[in-house]
């Protein structure tokens, strides 16, 4: 049986393909179609290189990817092929993930924040958002997109997305169809947070709430991976550790989350807080030195910042009085 036989009823493309396969199988050197593709793509011959010149440019990329899709479909037809394809894609993904990483060096040229030179401006919400955006879109987009796509394709159906069914008891009844956000009634003024210091909150519901949560998860995982590979990529970790120490998170919890790569060590956080306190002290001195604030006493006494409660408790004869916590007059400290 001639497997390369053609007839006029076959499409022209099929006839050409069979004729090419027949030619490849002829002496003096037989070649399989796979070997032909390998030579065509890997040969350094100038003529062959010229023939494949548009395979990797924008004009030819769509059709090249279609060829890869056809190879994938053929491989996935068998169980063994599916496993081999999975391992191949995994290795290629590892290469891409390894190649994408945040830049090294001190911020803003790199992603390293030193606890001894940290500035309060770096911890502003806008600045942190810019750092997150740079990490997920410029430095590690492949990992971010994989995590986000995996999370968003996971079956989830928020209750807020389902249309509410009428109870049949009138529009004034507050029934199970009432929209709640985060467990709170968004129409109840008592559940709405007040705006304080220019900071306010926006309630999200339905798909918006789910989308924001999943994006936040993906945005958090990326810096954890970067920190695990290089502990000098510590923007998120330093910010979280400062908040943990300031809020009184226990040492055990802090150390465990540091082990997981979610935050920096307590030692680093304390060093950063000392640096920030020096900056705050300098800012306070600068502001209170202005003559227009001459009649306003500072709200804290800088000289007493380092005093701890156990120092008062250790002295049985020391009597606390309201004067100990009252603002000191400007004249009492000429340095201010």
Is the CB of residue 33 less than 8 Å from the CB of residue 24?
Answer: yes
Between CA 125 and CA 111 the distance in angstroms is 17
For 42-50, what is the mean pLDDT?
93
Per DSSP, helices labelled H in the chain are 12-24, 33-42, 46-51, 61-75, 79-99, 125-134, 141-152, 206-229, 235-247, 251-260, 266-289, 309-314
For 170-187, what is the mean pLDDT?
46
pLDDT for the residue numbered 76: 93
Is the CB of residue 272 less than 8 Å from the CB of residue 122?
Answer: no
3-state secondary structure at position 64: helix
- How far the first Cα of the chain sits from its last, in Å, is 102
Question: Rounded to 5 degrees, what are φ and ψ at 116?
Answer: -95, -10
Between CA 111 and CA 132 the distance in angstroms is 11
Per-residue pLDDT at 111 exceeds 80: yes
pLDDT for the residue numbered 315: 52
Packing angle, helices 251-260 and 235-247, rounded to 10: 170
pLDDT for the residue numbered 271: 93
Is the CB of residue 212 less than 8 Å from the CB of residue 204?
Answer: yes
For 94-118, what is the mean pLDDT?
91
Residues in a beta bridge with 328: none
Per-residue pLDDT at 1 exceeds 80: no
Packing angle, helices 12-24 and 33-42, rounded to 10: 90
Is the CB of residue 135 less than 8 Å from the CB of residue 225?
Answer: no
List the beta strands (DSSP E) in the chain: 180-181, 184-185
Per-residue pLDDT at 179 exceeds 50: no
3-state secondary structure at position 174: coil
Nearby residues of 147 by Cβ (< 8 Å), 6 or more positions away: 217, 218, 221, 222
Give pLDDT tens digits for 114-154: 999 999 888 888 899 999 999 999 999 999 999 999 998 75
Q: What percent of the chain has a predicted confidence (pLDDT) above 90?
A: 48
For 204-221, what is the mean pLDDT?
85
pLDDT for the residue numbered 161: 42
Give pLDDT tens digits for 283-331: 888 877 776 666 666 665 555 545 544 554 555 455 555 444 444 444 4
Give pLDDT tens digits for 23-45: 888 888 889 999 999 999 999 99
The DSSP 8-state label assigned to residue 138 in this structure reads I
For 38-53, what is the mean pLDDT?
92
pLDDT for the residue numbered 172: 46
Per-residue pLDDT at 260 exceeds 90: yes
Is the CB of residue 268 less than 8 Å from the CB of residue 241?
Answer: yes
Name the residue with higher pLDDT: 155 or 285: 285
- Confidence category of residue 166, pLDDT binned at 50, 70, 90: very low
Between CA 187 and CA 56 the distance in angstroms is 56
Is the CB of residue 233 less than 8 Å from the CB of residue 102?
Answer: yes
Dihedral sign from CA coordinates of 68, 74, 77, 81: negative
Give the number of C-alpha atoms closer than 13 A to the C-alpha of residue 106, restricted to the C-beta side.
Answer: 6
The region of weakest confidence among 1-10, 36-45, 46-55, 208-217 is 1-10
Give pLDDT tens digits for 214-248: 999 999 999 999 999 999 999 999 999 999 998 88
How much is the pTM?
A: 0.68
- Confidence category of residue 266, pLDDT binned at 50, 70, 90: very high
Dihedral sign from CA coordinates of 310, 311, 317, 318: negative
Is the CB of residue 288 less than 8 Å from the CB of residue 330?
Answer: yes
Is the CB of residue 259 less than 8 Å from the CB of residue 135?
Answer: no
Nearby residues of 271 by Cβ (< 8 Å), 6 or more positions away: 115, 116
Per-residue pLDDT at 78 exceeds 80: yes
pLDDT for the residue numbered 200: 56
């Amino acid at each position: 049986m001639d497997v390369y036989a053609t007839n006029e009823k076959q499409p022209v493309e099929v006839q050409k393909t069979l004729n090419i396969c027949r030619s490849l199988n002829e002496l003096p050197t037989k070649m399989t179609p796979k070997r032909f593709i390998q030579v065509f793509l890997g040969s350094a011959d100038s003529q062959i290189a010229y023939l494949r010149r548009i395979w990797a440019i924008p004009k030819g990329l769509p059709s090249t990817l279609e060829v890869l899709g056809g190879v994938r479909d053929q491989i996935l037809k068998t169980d063994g092929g599916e496993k081999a394809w999975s391992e191949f894609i995994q290795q290629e993904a590892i290469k891409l993930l390894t190649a994408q990483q945040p830049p090294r060096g001190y911020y803003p040229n790199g992603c390293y924040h030193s606890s001894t030179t940290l500035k309060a401006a770096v911890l502003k919400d806008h600045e942190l958002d810019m750092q997150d955006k740079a990490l997920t879109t410029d430095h590690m987009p492949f990992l971010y997109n994989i995590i986000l796509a995996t999370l968003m394709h996971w079956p989830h159906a928020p209750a807020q997305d389902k249309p509410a069914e009428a109870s049949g008891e009138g529009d004034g009844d507050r029934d199970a169809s009432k929209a709640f956000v985060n467990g709170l009634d968004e129409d109840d003024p008592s559940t709405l947070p007040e705006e304080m210091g220019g900071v306010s909150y926006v309630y999200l519901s339905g798909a918006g709430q789910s989308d924001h949560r999943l994006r936040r998860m993906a945005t958090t995982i990326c810096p954890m991976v970067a920190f695990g590979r290089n502990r000098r990529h510590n923007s998120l970790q330093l910010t979280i550790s400062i908040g943990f120490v300031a809020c009184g998170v226990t040492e055990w919890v802090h150390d465990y989350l540091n082990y997981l790569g979610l935050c920096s060590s307590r030692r680093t956080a304390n060093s950063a807080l000392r640096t920030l306190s020096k900056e705050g002290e300098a800012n306070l001195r600068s502001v209170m030195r202005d003559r227009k604030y001459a009649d306003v006493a500072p709200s804290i006494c800088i000289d007493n910042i380092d005093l701890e409660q156990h120092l008062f408790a250790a002295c049985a004869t020391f009597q606390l009085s309201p004067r100990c916590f009252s603002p000191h007059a400007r004249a009492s400290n000429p340095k201010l």
